[in-house]
Amino acid sequence: MTETSVHSAKLNAASESVGTHGASQFHPTAVEHPRPHARLISQALLLDQEDAYSAGTVGFLARALVQATMPHSDPKTNEFVRHNGHYSLSIMAPAGVGLPYGRYPRLVLAYLNTEAVKQKTRHIALDHHFSHFCAGLGIPPTTGPRGSLPQLREQMQRLFASTFQCLFHDEEKGRHAGDGFLIADKRTLWWDPSREIGDVSAESHVVLSERFFREATEAPVPLDLRVLRALRSPFEIDIYVWLTWRFFRLRKPVTIPWDSLQLQFGCGYKNPRHFKRRLLKYLKSVLGYYPSARLANTDAGLLLKPSATHVSPMKV
């Protein structure tokens, strides 16, 4: 069986083929690793020059939140489920609060998870000024009704109010297991920028739940925080952390069916072709930062071939 070279076919061509015949599953179209466009060139060059360990930008994310993820956009409901094979992640939120969604709660989770790993404690201090904390996540702090600061506040409130359920169900083998948790048992968050520096009683902090702390620190997925902050879409973030997790475990080529990927990444897409086209579009952005990933677009699904993880687990 012959296969197109990894750098020989353009992802755009692969995406255009989705609406017609697609690539043959016997002759997969390899996904090109594109050169980042002008807005991202300096960031990509920086990644080439200094790895995450040297730059001090190694981050972590719990596996339970990588295998299945939060909504990309507002689901307009208080219960959300995503599936990955026999595993599913269910998120429930109080009716008056709503579910966390989008890019911001993903960045907050990466921050909390990273601090838990590095500090080895459930007690996570946030920056004294909320605008500084926002900027530290890679979000330019802006005010106003649609500014980043009020949006981040709302998403953090949604995140901490939600209950997460991790479920494993294998009907064929008659096995069922589940585990539920809150992200935090306690949180004290101050939004007032006029507070005096040094007022310890008014410092923002989070006490992670014992269950989430264990999930966050027992074999978490390593990632590069520079990439997380540079990616503009929550879908791109999900693809990036999922790829580095899969490649850590991958020993031989595997094809992930498109319908399985849709259940995992995009429950809101009614048309499978629209989902596939969108995934390939965002995958192109991710590969600009992850050039060692080896994969191909086929009719049967996304073909993954053993590749180096984006951040080496050997140094963790």
* pLDDT tens profile 73-110: 999 999 999 988 889 999 999 989 999 999 999 999 99
Task: Name the domain count of the chain.
Answer: 2
If asked whether residues 70 and 201 sit together in one domain, one would say yes
Last residue of a domain, one of 158, 189, 218: 218
Q: What is the pLDDT of residue 32?
A: 59
If asked whether residues 51 and 133 sit together in one domain, one would say no
Could you say which residues of the chain have pLDDT below 50? 1-27, 38-39, 41-42, 196, 316
To the question of pTM greater than 0.85 for the whole model, the response is: no
If asked whether residues 12 and 39 sit together in one domain, one would say yes
The token pair at 264 is: 């995992």
Q: What is the pLDDT of residue 175?
A: 81
Last residue of a domain, one of 194, 218, 242: 218
| CB of 23 closer than 8 Å to CB of 14 | yes
If asked whether residues 189 and 68 sit together in one domain, one would say yes
- Specify the 3-state DSSP secondary structure of 199: coil
Q: What is the pLDDT of residue 24?
A: 33
If asked whether residues 180 and 37 sit together in one domain, one would say no
Last residue of a domain, one of 218, 253, 285: 218
Q: What is the pLDDT of residue 23?
A: 38
If asked whether residues 119 and 237 sit together in one domain, one would say no
Q: What is the pLDDT of residue 193?
A: 58
Q: Which domain holds residue 194?
A: 64-218
Q: What is the pLDDT of residue 129?
A: 86
If asked whether residues 85 and 206 sit together in one domain, one would say yes
Tell me the backbone φ, ψ of residue 67, rounded to 5 degrees.
Answer: -65, -35
If asked whether residues 309 and 183 sit together in one domain, one would say no
If asked whether residues 180 and 155 sit together in one domain, one would say yes
Long-range Cβ contacts of 22-26 (<8 Å, 24+ apart): 22/297, 22/298, 22/299, 23/296, 23/297, 23/298, 23/299, 24/298, 24/299, 25/255, 25/298, 25/299, 25/300, 26/1
If asked whether residues 73 and 214 sit together in one domain, one would say yes
If asked whether residues 289 and 147 sit together in one domain, one would say no
If asked whether residues 172 and 279 sit together in one domain, one would say no
